[in-house]
Amino acid sequence: MSIQENCRVVENTRLGEGLYLMVLDAPEIVKLTQCGQFVHIACGEGHLLRRPISICTWQGSHLRIVFQVKGDGTKWLSERKVGDVLDVLGPLGHGFDVQALGDRPIFIGGGIGVPPMLGCVRTAVEKGAQPAAILGFRNKGAVILEGDFRDECETFVTTDDGTYARHGFVTDVLKEQVAGATGVAACGPKPMLKAIAAIAKEAGVPCQVSMEERMGCGIGACLVCACALKSENGETRYGHVCKDGPVFNAEEVEW
């Protein structure tokens, strides 16, 4: 279930190059939110253009999102001031099934895929699990939310160019840590998700992935976000990332 709510901007902070953290007062949407879901925010005059932004965390009536400026819509969003009111639709999509990931889940985020994993970590901790997080970034300037993760769980950080923390990829850490894991969940670019799914499969550990796709309507009414999935008889079928996902069992995805 999702609703449309007019949400007041409580905070809009620049986190780094083109990256913003926004807190919205969304008392009705937070009541329904689960980790891995997203909101669809009307961006711009006339509010014709909506942009999907994944939910980072939620507390009380506040919803925290982190977004990257990629075009006119997200640029408009980055210029909003405290007190402005936004037209927000959410929570949308199917999130992560944290329960199915067991007592020692590993949550992996790559780049702008990092923020939604913080909500997952918190959900797992609330359920009594002992999660770990692996966060991958391009370089030192792109590192976000590291302290928030460290406050919650054991956290590993990698950078592609070695300018901060471990030089390498999230998959290098996962290969070392997967033996003790009861489940793996990940959000980030598709090649990263594919590599993670293969490592989890080899280790015999369940894996859930959140797919980043271009979106239009956000509610299953257009075909912009189609992704190839495997049906039970092995044939390819197409699903909507916005409605059937964004989270899928890795085994379901046609890589």
User: Which residues line the annotated binding site?
Assistant: 51-54, 66-68, 73-74, 217, 222, 225, 242
If binding is defined by CB under 6 A, does position 215 make contact with ligand FES? yes
Nearer to ligand FES among residue 118 and residue 211 (C-beta): 211
Report the alpha-carbon distance of residue 114 to residue 176 in Å, rounded: 20
Nearer to ligand FES among residue 18 and residue 220 (C-beta): 220
Nearer to ligand FES among residue 89 and residue 108 (C-beta): 89
- For residue 118, report the phi and psi dihedrals to the nearest 5 degrees: -65, -40
The CB-of-214 to ligand FES minimum distance in angstroms stands at 8
With CA atoms as reference, report the closest residue to 229 among 205, 207, 203, 255. 255
If binding is defined by CB under 6 A, does position 220 make contact with ligand FES? yes
Nearer to ligand FES among residue 70 and residue 140 (C-beta): 70
If binding is defined by CB under 6 A, does position 217 make contact with ligand FES? yes
If binding is defined by CB under 6 A, does position 221 make contact with ligand FES? yes
Taking CA atoms, 127 is separated from 99, 100, 121, in Å, by 8, 11, 10
Work out the angle at residue 14's Cα, subtended by the Cα atoms of residues 167 and 122, and round it to the nearest 5 degrees: 65
Report the alpha-carbon distance of residue 199 to residue 219 in Å, rounded: 32
If binding is defined by CB under 6 A, does position 246 make contact with ligand FES? no
Task: Note whether 73 and 20 are within 8 A (CB).
Answer: no
**235, burial (CB in 10 Å: exposed 0-12, middle 13-18, buried 19+):** exposed
Taking CB under 6 A as the criterion, the residue among 10, 165, 203, 224 binding ligand FES is 224
If binding is defined by CB under 6 A, does position 92 make contact with ligand FES? no
Helices 170-177 and 190-203 sit at what angle, rounded to 10 degrees? 10
If binding is defined by CB under 6 A, does position 216 make contact with ligand FES? yes
If binding is defined by CB under 6 A, does position 225 make contact with ligand FES? yes
If binding is defined by CB under 6 A, does position 211 make contact with ligand FES? no
The Cβ of residue 14 has, within 10 Å, a number of other Cβ atoms equal to 11
Structure tokens belonging to residue 207: 């894996």
The CB-of-221 to ligand FES minimum distance in angstroms stands at 5
If binding is defined by CB under 6 A, does position 40 make contact with ligand FES? no
Residues of this chain that interact with ligand FES (CB under 6 A) are: 215-218, 220-225, 240, 242
